Amino acid sequence: MNVTVVGSGYVGLVVAAGLAELGHNVICIDKDAEKIAQLREGKVPIFERHLEEVVRRQERRLRFSKNNLKAAVRQSDAIFIAVGTPIAPGGKCDLSYVDEVVDSVAEALSDVAFAHKLVVEKSTVPVGTGEQIARRLPKRVDVVSNPEFLREGTAVTDILYPDRIVVGTDSPKALAMMRELYRPLLDGSYALRADAVPCPESGKCPTRMIATTVESAEIIKHASNAFLAMKISFINAISAVCEQAGADVEDVARGMGTDSRIGPRFLRAGIGYGGSCFPKDLAAFRSVAGELGIDLDLLAEVERINVDQRQRFLEKVRFALGGRLKGKKVAALGISFKPGTDDVRESPALDIVRALIQEGCQVSAYDPAAADSARKMLYGIESRMRFASDPYAAAKNADAVLILTDWNEFAMMDLERLRDSMRDPVLVDGRNLFSPESMAELGFTYISVGRPAVNVSEPRATGTAG
């Protein structure tokens, strides 16, 4: 099929590359001339495993353009809208970029004859958007909601081996076209290719398609992210109970997660969720529910717990350093909001680093991928910290090391070397990467989330670990 993807951001680029990998002819369009020039040279501007490999391999099927939307729309069977939907005041989705694309598609099709086309919502939009789009397009255009469930760090395998493909449409013809579009995933034939991106253990092959109405598909996306965020906030709230009761949140999560009705995923205590999706989608879902007369204050509590978790972690750092942060040297390991990506948008790690700097800490940071992104986000205060070349350089002469992102590189560190490079062997683990028992044996003062602290000296024990 001939496909146009409008938007070459995180979602648009991954979708365009994935569809080309499945054998379709794809043109990806964006207004950003610099980004398009990079992509034409095979340079991928985001850090995502397998993405550059696929973009370069599919150079014959995947093209990039800045100014060719009208021609691309006319030549395409399906037009995917994959532009940003940022938060506007009050928590609403700003649909101005979506509206601009719809107007351009309508204009492109206004004076030509065509048989049938799909306009596919890939951007995350509030329920009711598909109906509004359909009113502005010719009747021979079917509007389909096809929400993305991409996780940063595993986005390419997520699109090629998805848990499910949700398609919202009332048109049998549109549904048949979407089945054909994704046929190599639905029949498992893509995975059998010699050059296929390898299927991860968690990947589904073949996958299944869930057909719904447009409205149901739009809600599925928001409701899914809201539920996952709720699981994270729930286990973080439980971690506070565990700390006060002397229990271990890892044991509690394991006991809960083995219940098939609950499951273990997203039951990991830490410093909270971040990224470009959960915070935005929760606010947007609450906003659209409110417009429909539905009170979703439950999600406000999910957000409150998430913000509080960062403050609780800062209290742990204060406690570990005797109640005073000013003048202390701290190594921050991890800046991205999760491993496998250079994305620092809404990163709890970045918020914690900002707070440490504001309280007078000397911060030395290391992240395997996100240093450049972090420098841009820390504009104005970046001179008050430094970025190290590796974890051990960051920890040199540090009063404490903080684990803020659970990169596998940190879990595999030589802890004796790390300890010996520090001024004082204090490690505050916001991701529970290590066992308290092993850290005690190594001589660390070790404070984690929802578990008893070890080797805490008497002066520190007079405070509260939060």
- Tell whether 394 and 439 lie within a shared domain: yes
| Helices 278-291 & 297-320 angle (0-180, nearest 10) | 150
Query: Of 303, 322, 352, which one is at a domain's C-terminal end?
Result: 303
Q: Which domain holds residue 352?
A: 305-461
- Tell whether 54 and 147 lie within a shared domain: yes
- Tell whether 325 and 258 lie within a shared domain: no
What is d(CA 339, CA 5) in angstroms, rounded to the nearest whole number? 27
What is the number of domains present in the chain? 3
Predicted local confidence at residue 464, as pLDDT: 41
* CATH label of the domain that carries residue 70: 3.40.50.720
- Tell whether 46 and 104 lie within a shared domain: yes
What is d(CA 241, CA 256) in angstroms, rounded to the nearest whole number? 15
- Tell whether 298 and 312 lie within a shared domain: no
Q: How far apart are the first and last CA of the chain?
A: 56
Residue 343 in this model has a pLDDT that exceeds 50? yes
Looking at every residue in the chain, the average pLDDT score rounds to: 94
Query: Of 303, 322, 346, which one is at a domain's C-terminal end?
Result: 303
Q: What is the DSSP string of 37-85?
A: HHHHTT--SS--TTHHHHHHHTTTTEEEESS-HHHHHHH-SEEEE----
* Residues forming a β-bridge with 36: none
pTM, 2 dp: 0.91
- Tell whether 373 and 258 lie within a shared domain: no
- Tell whether 269 and 396 lie within a shared domain: no
- Tell whether 310 and 296 lie within a shared domain: no
- Tell whether 176 and 39 lie within a shared domain: yes
Write the single-letter amino acid at 60.
Answer: R
Which residues are tagged catalytic?
A: 277
Token reading at 342 = 């250079």
Predicted local confidence at residue 263, as pLDDT: 95
- Tell whether 361 and 434 lie within a shared domain: yes
pLDDT per residue as tens digits for the range 406-447: 999 999 999 999 999 999 999 999 999 999 999 999 999 999
Q: What is the mean pLDDT of residues 302-326?
A: 95
Q: Per the domain annotation, does 350 fall within a domain?
A: yes
Radius of gyration of the chain (CA): 24
pLDDT per residue as tens digits for the range 218-266: 999 999 999 999 999 999 999 999 999 999 999 999 999 999 999 999 9
Write the single-letter amino acid at 42.
Answer: G
Predicted local confidence at residue 125, as pLDDT: 96
Residue 235, CA atoms < 13 Å, CB-side half-sphere: 30
Predicted confidence band at 466 (pLDDT cuts at 50, 70, 90)? very low
Token reading at 42 = 């095979």
- Tell whether 95 and 44 lie within a shared domain: yes
According to DSSP, the β-strands at 385-387 and 362-366 are: parallel
Query: Of 249, 278, 303, which one is at a domain's C-terminal end?
Result: 303
Q: Greater confidence, 209 or 461?
A: 209
- Tell whether 293 and 313 lie within a shared domain: no
- The conformational region for residue 334 under phi > 0 = left, psi -120 to 50 = alpha, else beta, is left
Q: Per the domain annotation, does 127 fall within a domain?
A: yes
